[in-house]
A and B are shown apart, each in its own frame.
Chain A
Amino acid sequence: GIQVEQSPPDLILQEGANSTLRCNFSDSVNNLQWFHQNPWGQLINLFYIPSGTKQNGRLSATTVATERYSLLYISSSQTTDSGVYFCAARRGGQNFVFGPGTRLSVLP
């Protein structure tokens, strides 16, 4: 099945800084989602983005399907952005596969 990798595994930022999180996948996908898992464990949908670019406030995401990667941009980070960011991908009729996550800590 598809393999999903994420980098970096850990990231520490000062409040107000910008960051880029990367998700690589091993094969073409027809579904890719980014999630934020908050400190209470809730998975929050950020983007459904199998291709192209989307923006939502301080967050934006780009998926380049032909090159098998997706990027999540966080601008002007806030302490509430802390948590684990997961990307998850699905190929064809296969199951949804999650990456290992990027743990983000935003310091005040």
Chain B
Amino acid sequence: EAGVAQSPRYKIIEKRQSVAFWCNPISGHATLYWYQQILGQGPKLLIQFQNNGVVDDSQLPKDRFSAERLKGVDSTLKIQPAKLEDSAVYLCASSLVDRNNEQFFGPGTRLTVL
């Protein structure tokens, strides 16, 4: 069974530029999560989707971050415009629809904002 796929793996941009990350969850996993992991910290949830609907985006900085999950499968996370403090690893995870089920993580995208 294929795992969670993410791209790109690395991205370097200048502040005020835009960037987008892509995630493809494990087949059959209706729930998809985006996390931000700043160096030296644990991951922090940004947004959770169930199918193509948003379940929780309370920690998403909506003035600059946006996310969508069209057709309930792939998802994209966008930052526009980027700030220096957005430098982090962006992790995508998926799980079965039951909220108590295990989460499985992709390899992450390491973003550096200069």
Contacts and interface: CB of A to CB of B under 8 A. Distances in A.
A43 B105 contact: yes
B90 to A, nearest CB: 11
Contacts, number: 50
A99 B48 CA distance: 19
Given A98-B43, A101-B42, A45 B89 contact: no
B99 A90 contact: yes
Interface in A50-70: 50
Contacts of B101: 31, 48
Residues of A in contact with B, size category: 20 to 34
B32 to A, nearest CB: 13
Given A41-B107, A41-B108, A88 B42 contact: yes
A10 B44 CA distance: 21
Given A95-B45, A100-B41, A100-B42, A90 B110 contact: no
Interface string B43-61: 1110010000000100100
A49 to B, nearest CB: 10
B44 A98 contact: yes
A93 B42 contact: no
B104 interface: yes
Nearest to B41: A100
Contact of A48 (B45, B102, B108): B102
5 contacts: A33-B102, A40-B107, A88-B42, A88-B103, A101-B41
Interface of B: 33, 41-45, 48, 56, 59, 89, 91, 93, 99-105, 107-108, 110
